[in-house]
Every structure is written in structure tokens, then in C-alpha cells.
């Protein structure tokens, strides 16, 4: 599978006249070779020449972490005291154009460009995005497994099985993080718990605010779950609950949100431009008079990264193709008062939009 992914990368490299691609910290590396670099100061670098075999440069003391994959890459380890950049430059060669992983430490790129003064560097995402953004069947199943896992946690929250009243947001967030791991993820990416007026801040940091009866609580959480090859795929879901009866105002706002989300989901068909899906969710919220309070794009792509391409945003005229995986997550945020968001991961498919999250979309009323 990794060899096949690398050969697809080489096809795109040939198209774009890229002589070599180098990948370090970030999600491209595990996607193309099954290894994740430690985000430290020692250089880890997969060097993929367009016309010869790939090498994984890895610090000697981290070499035992590497699963050997003959036919995918050779391992080239370096010891403290050796110059890893010189080694990398030698493996890359004196070439014209190199695609470098977008999340590679800037320091390494600066040193590499000093070592290779005649080389032009471009972002590796120009090579990797067209490949990574279209998921194959196994990847869709990995996203579905991660989606089902967070669905089970959402259902627990909606059933009132995770205590809220009298606990702080941070405590509930830690509880959800624990459940994310219990449900089979290896990593917690985030567990936003935003109570009452805090939900008006879309990326609220859960803090020491005590959750009280009579208010809404927004939960947005996800993690990374390994597939059969040890490559992690992300989950991401948002649901809201209300502790006791909601005010008519909040209930009305939430109904608009449900309608907006449903409209976006059914619009996400193959051939529809990403920006059209965004316009569809937005128009429902605009028509209800809340337009100014929907302050972000409708969604983001998802896969080995929690946020990747394609974005469901104005200006992105890319038509959806089978295998595009992304969130539909309209939100309405009234500063100082309340906020709500509803989010599912969806995959575009010939048979119609395929939702990875099936947890109930309604505003669950809980006792606390």
C-alpha cells in the first residue's frame, strides 16, 4: 500500500517537474511510509527522488521505532555529532525542484536551502493534497470506525450518562478525552466543552467554569485511530445538549441549525462545488436572520489530519468527487449569550453523501 502511494506521488511529481520530495514532521510522512517523525530537533526525513528508491533518514536512537518496509524505503540512520543536513542534501542531489513537507521545521528548510543553493523549494502539499484528499475504501472504513467510536460517546452524553452539573468544563473535557481513548483511539485531538455563554466562542478552551442547570453545553471532540497499517485517521463530532428545558429562543435557534446541517448534508453530492455546499448551509441560517452569527466556513477536509483539504468554504470551486471526506459543521454564535454547532463527517460517494456520524442531531435534554 505504501509503495503504491509513493508511486502515485511520483506521477504527480513528474507532472509538476518535481525532482524529489522530502517529508518530515506532519501527516504526509505516516501517510506515505507508515512512520511518524518525533517532533524534536533531530532530523527525520523521508527523501523520495522521482526516479530512484526512497530513503528514510532517522536519528540512530530512534531507528528502533521504525517498522522496516523493504521496497518502500531504505533506512539511513545518523548519530549525534554527524551532520544530518549534509546527509539529506547528498541523498536529494543537486536538483532543480524539491517539494518539502509543509510542516517541516523552518530551521531544517533554511539549512537545506543553504546546502542546495541552486534548488527551488515548493510545498509538498502541492504533490500530496490531490492524493490524500481522495480516500479509498479502506480509508473510508477507517474514518467510519473512528466516527462510530465518537458517536457512542455522543450518545452517552445525550443520554445524560456523563455527569455535567457541578463539574467544571475542564473536568468533563478530561472525562471525554478518557472515553475517546477507551473507544479505541490512540490519541485525543481535542475535547471542547463549552457551557452557557462560553459556547459563543467556537474554539473555546474548556476551563474552570462550573456547569449549571438551565444552560446549553456544546461538545466538539475527536481523536486519531490507527487503521490496519498503523496509520491514524481522525474523528470529529459536535453535539449540544440542554440541561433542563431550553428557552424558546434557544430552541428556535437550534432548529435552524438542524435544518442548516441537514441541507448541507444533502447538498454534498458528487459534482457539487465545495463552495455551493457552504452556501446551502449558510442560506438556511441567513434566511432565519442569524447570518451574521455564523462566523466560520461550513467545514474542513479530514483524514490522517483533523483538518486537511478540501475546505467547504466560499471561494473553493472544487467539485466534490467520490472519496472526498469533510465536515459539515454550521454554527450560530451570539456573543455573551449562547452558541451552538452541529457537526458530522461526510464522505462524497456516487450513491449520495455517506455520513460517518449517525448520532442523533436533535437538542438532547438532560437532567445534568
Nearer to Zn ion, 275 or 343 (CB): 343
| CA 126 to chain centroid | 18
Nearer to Zn ion, 215 or 220 (CB): 220
Please answer whether residues 44 and 58 qualify as being in contact, where contact means their C-beta atoms are separated by less than 8 angstroms: yes
Nearer to Zn ion, 169 or 220 (CB): 220
**Minimum Å distance from CB 163 to Zn ion?**
22
**Minimum Å distance from CB 238 to Zn ion?**
5
CB atoms within 10 A of CB 53: 12
**Per rule CB under 5 A, count of chain residues that contact Zn ion:** 5
Part of the chain binding Zn ion (CB under 5 A), chosen from 43-51, 69-77, 121-129, 219-227: 219-227
The alpha-carbon radius of gyration of the chain (Å, integer) is 23
Part of the chain binding Zn ion (CB under 5 A), chosen from 71-79, 87-95, 161-169, 235-243: 235-243
Element (H, E) at 358: none
Part of the chain binding Zn ion (CB under 5 A), chosen from 2-10, 89-97, 214-222, 246-254: 214-222
> 105-117: b or e for each residue (b if 16 or more CB lie within 10 Å)?
beebbebbbeebe
The residues in 310-329 that bind Zn ion, with binding defined as CB under 5 A, are 327
Residue 261: half-sphere exposure toward Cβ, Cα within 13 Å: 28
Q: Say whether residue 344 binds Zn ion (CB under 5 A).
A: no
Separation of alpha carbons 22 and 46, rounded Å: 5
Nearer to Zn ion, 181 or 252 (CB): 181
Nearer to Zn ion, 100 or 200 (CB): 200
Part of the chain binding Zn ion (CB under 5 A), chosen from 2-10, 53-61, 118-126, 232-240: 232-240
**Minimum Å distance from CB 14 to Zn ion?**
34
**Minimum Å distance from CB 329 to Zn ion?**
5
> Can the peptide bond before residue 310 be classed as cis, meaning omega within 30 degrees of 0?
yes
**Minimum Å distance from CB 337 to Zn ion?**
20
Nearer to Zn ion, 42 or 307 (CB): 307
**Minimum Å distance from CB 56 to Zn ion?**
31
Cell of 68: 522496516
Which of 139, 220, 305, 308 is the binder for Zn ion (CB under 5 A)?
220
Cell of 331: 454554527
**Minimum Å distance from CB 230 to Zn ion?**
24
Nearer to Zn ion, 162 or 325 (CB): 325
Strands lying side by side in the sheet with 325-328: 308-312, 299-301, 325-328, 344-347, 354-355
- DSSP 3-state of 287: helix
CB atoms within 10 A of CB 4: 10
- DSSP 3-state of 111: helix
Q: Say whether residue 236 binds Zn ion (CB under 5 A).
A: yes
Residues within the interface to Zn ion (CB under 5 A)? 220, 236, 238, 327, 343
Amino acid at each position: 500500500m505504501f509503495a503504491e502511494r509513493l508511486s502515485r506521488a511520483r506521477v504527480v511529481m513528474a507532472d509538476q517537474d518535481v525532482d524529489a520530495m522530502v517529508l518530515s514532521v506532519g501527516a504526509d510522512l505516516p501517510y506515505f511510509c507508515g512512520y511518524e517523525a518525533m517532533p524534536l530537533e533531530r532530523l527525520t526525513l523521508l527523501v523520495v527522488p522521482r526516479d530512484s528508491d526512497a530513503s528514510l533518514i532517522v536519528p540512530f536512537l530512534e531507528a528502533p521505532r521504525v517498522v522496516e518496509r523493504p521496497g518502500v524505503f531504505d533506512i539511513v540512520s545518523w548519530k549525534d555529532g554527524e551532520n544530518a543536513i549534509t546527509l539529506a542534501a547528498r541523498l536529494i542531489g543537486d536538483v532543480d525542484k524539491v517539494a518539502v513537507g509543509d510542516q517541516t521545521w523552518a530551521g531544517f528548510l533554511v539549512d537545506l536551502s543553504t546546502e542546495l543553493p541552486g534548488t527551488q523549494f515548493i510545498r509538498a502539499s502541492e504533490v500530496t493534497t490531490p492524493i490524500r484528499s481522495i480516500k479509498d475504501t479502506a480509508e473510508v472504513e477507517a474514518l467510519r470506525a473512528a466516527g462510530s467510536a465518537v458517536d457512542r460517546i455522543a450518545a452517552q452524553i445525550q443520554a445524560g450518562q456523563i455527569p455535567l452539573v457541578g463539574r467544571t468544563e475542564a473536568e468533563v473535557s478530561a472525562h471525554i478525552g478518557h472515553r475517546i481513548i477507551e473507544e479505541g483511539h490512540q490519541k485525543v485531538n481535542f475535547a471542547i466543552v463549552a457551557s452557557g455563554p462560553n459556547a459563543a466562542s467556537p474554539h473555546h478552551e474548556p476551563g474552570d467554569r462550573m456547569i449549571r442547570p438551565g444552560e446549553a453545553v456544546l461538545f466538539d471532540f475527536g481523536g486519531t485511530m490507527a487503521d490496519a497499517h498503523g496509520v491514524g485517521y481522525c474523528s470529529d463530532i459536535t453535539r449540544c445538549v440542554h440541561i433542563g428545558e431550553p428557552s424558546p429562543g434557544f430552541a428556535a435557534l437550534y432548529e435552524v441549525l438542524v435544518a442548516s446541517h441537514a441541507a448541507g448534508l444533502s447538498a454534498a453530492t458528487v459534482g457539487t462545488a465545495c463552495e455551493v455546499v457552504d452556501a446551502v448551509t449558510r442560506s438556511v441560517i441567513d434566511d432565519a436572520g442569524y447570518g451574521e452569527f455564523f462566523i466560520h466556513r461550513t467545514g474542513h477536509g479530514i483524514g490522517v489530519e483533523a483538518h486537511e483539504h478540501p475546505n467547504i468554504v466560499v471561494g473553493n470551486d472544487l467539485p466534490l468527487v467520490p472519496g472526498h471526506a469533510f465536515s459539515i459543521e454550521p454554527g450560530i454564535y451570539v456573543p455573551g449569550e449562547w452558541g451552538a454547532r452541529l457537526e458530522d463527517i461526510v464522505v462524497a460517494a456516487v450513491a449520495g453523501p455517506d455520513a460517518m456520524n449517525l448520532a442523533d442531531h436533535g437538542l438532547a435534554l438532560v437532567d445534568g
